[in-house]
Amino acid sequence: MSNPIVQRFKSRDATIGVVGLGYVGLPLCAAFGKAGFRVLGFDVDPQKVERINRGESYIDAVPGEDLAQLVEAKQVEATCDFSRAAEVQAVAICVPTPLTKNMDPDTSYMERTAESIGPHLQPGTLVVLESTTYPGTTDGLLGPILERTSGLKVGETLYLAYSPERENPGTKWTTHAIPKVAGADDPISREAVQALYTGAVADVIPVSSARVAESAKLLENIYRCVNIALVNELKVCFARMGVDIFEVIDAARTKPFGFTPFWPGPGLGGHCIPIDPVYLSWKAKEFGVRTKFIDLAQEVNTAMPEYVLERCMDALNTQQKALNGAKVLFLGVAYKKDVDDVRESPALVLWDLFSAKGAQLDFHDPHVARLGRGRHYDINRDSVTLSDEALKSYDLVVIVTDHSSIDWKQVVDQAPLVVDTRNATREVRGDATHVFLA
């Protein structure tokens, strides 16, 4: 007979805790709530907690009306009180795993979470780590902290698993629709994590261990990182030859087999692709392995903002202008189109580079009302209104993010000088000599 916790997950007779109510945690709360579970969300930010308990969503992927219904039905609640972890039968940890300034993995958020919930976990609780990390984190780092703080034994009185988040903001792929990889190191934990997510997502893919699941997540994003680096390198190469990389990719993608299109840009963004490869490179050194492809891809991708800066300076030179003192408008600061997420956005790197050269900067982003203060930036600037008069007033407009709602014809028609890093103006620029690709 299955473990009692498995039966509770199958019958939805369980309260699910979600720690970290950001771009991963809040959609997961909604998915569990819609599936019929009672959900208790944990966060250290009281403003987030208050907004959720008022039924207000601050993330595009979770419609406000959906969250309000779940809160009103008492399916979802949020709290800053981590002692309430005693009320849950499963906890999903969805906290950031960024990099330090020295480009080492920063697991401090995850460790503090384990220290906070550990003393309150009841026997038979399942803990699932969703944060992206290096192989061995779940069993080698998280497990021992939980055992020490809870007094429980993993695989006996405490169940532990890894199931990586696969959020893709700004697309049709909701948390419910994305298949969920899940791995654990003992039979009961494997059965429990599969039963938990089967109740909330369309498909669960079980694997034999937490390390396999951790590695699968890294592979997914390293695959993208390396291929993006390839097209970024080709963009620079083809530009010197007078060849449009975007037209090249469009031609190549007509091949019905053996080719997957990736698109160049001003640099990598989001929480995953710029960070995940570094986690594996760092861990590989422990085993005497050098990850050459990953290291080279990181080198190429992190150099793209400098390349954009050079292209912008060249474009200004055609107008007998210098970047120092120039009025510059960034169009888009989110890391990808049609989202409000600025985590690791190349716009933040570009902002620093342009500021250091003396540019006077503004930005417009229909999804980001304000750039405030983050882990690696302190900008404190509001998005400006996009109008004909505003566009004409800038010496240079740089397209950083190709949001669908921006009128690119207006930009091309009104801005005196445009540098397009996303090929957003392709359909409207014609033979305009004041529009440059970067």
Please compute, for residue 18, the number of CA atoms within 13 A of its CA located in the half-sphere on the CB side.
29
Cα-Cα-Cα-Cα dihedral sign, residues 145, 146, 152, 154:
negative
18 token code pair = 């979600």
With both helix axes pointing from N to C terminus, report the angle between 108-117 and 143-150 in degrees, rounded to the nearest 10: 30
Q: What is the C-alpha separation between 19 and 42, in angstroms, rounded?
A: 5
> How many helices (H) and strands (E) would you count in the chain?
16, 15
Strands 180-184 and 158-162: antiparallel
Tell me which residue of 103, 93, 108 sits closest to 42, measured CA to CA. Answer: 93
The phi-psi region of residue 396 (left if phi > 0; otherwise alpha if psi is between -120 and 50; otherwise beta) is beta
- ∠ Cα 63 66 71 (to 5°): 125
Going by the DSSP 8-state scheme, the letter that residue 141 receives in this structure is I
Q: What values do phi and psi take at 340, rounded to 5? A: -105, 15
The phi-psi region of residue 320 (left if phi > 0; otherwise alpha if psi is between -120 and 50; otherwise beta) is left
Q: What is the C-alpha separation between 73 and 244, in angstroms, rounded?
A: 54
CB atoms within 10 A of CB 142: 26
For tokens 């210098």, what's the residue? 322
Confirm whether 312 is a catalytic residue: no
Cα-Cα-Cα-Cα dihedral sign, residues 425, 427, 432, 436:
positive
126 token code pair = 């399942």
Q: What is the C-alpha separation between 197 and 193, in angstroms, rounded?
A: 6
Q: Are 146 and 125 in contact (CB under 8 A)?
A: no
Q: What is the C-alpha separation between 62 and 57, in angstroms, rounded?
A: 6
Q: Are 146 and 129 in contact (CB under 8 A)?
A: no
Residues with a catalytic annotation lie at 272
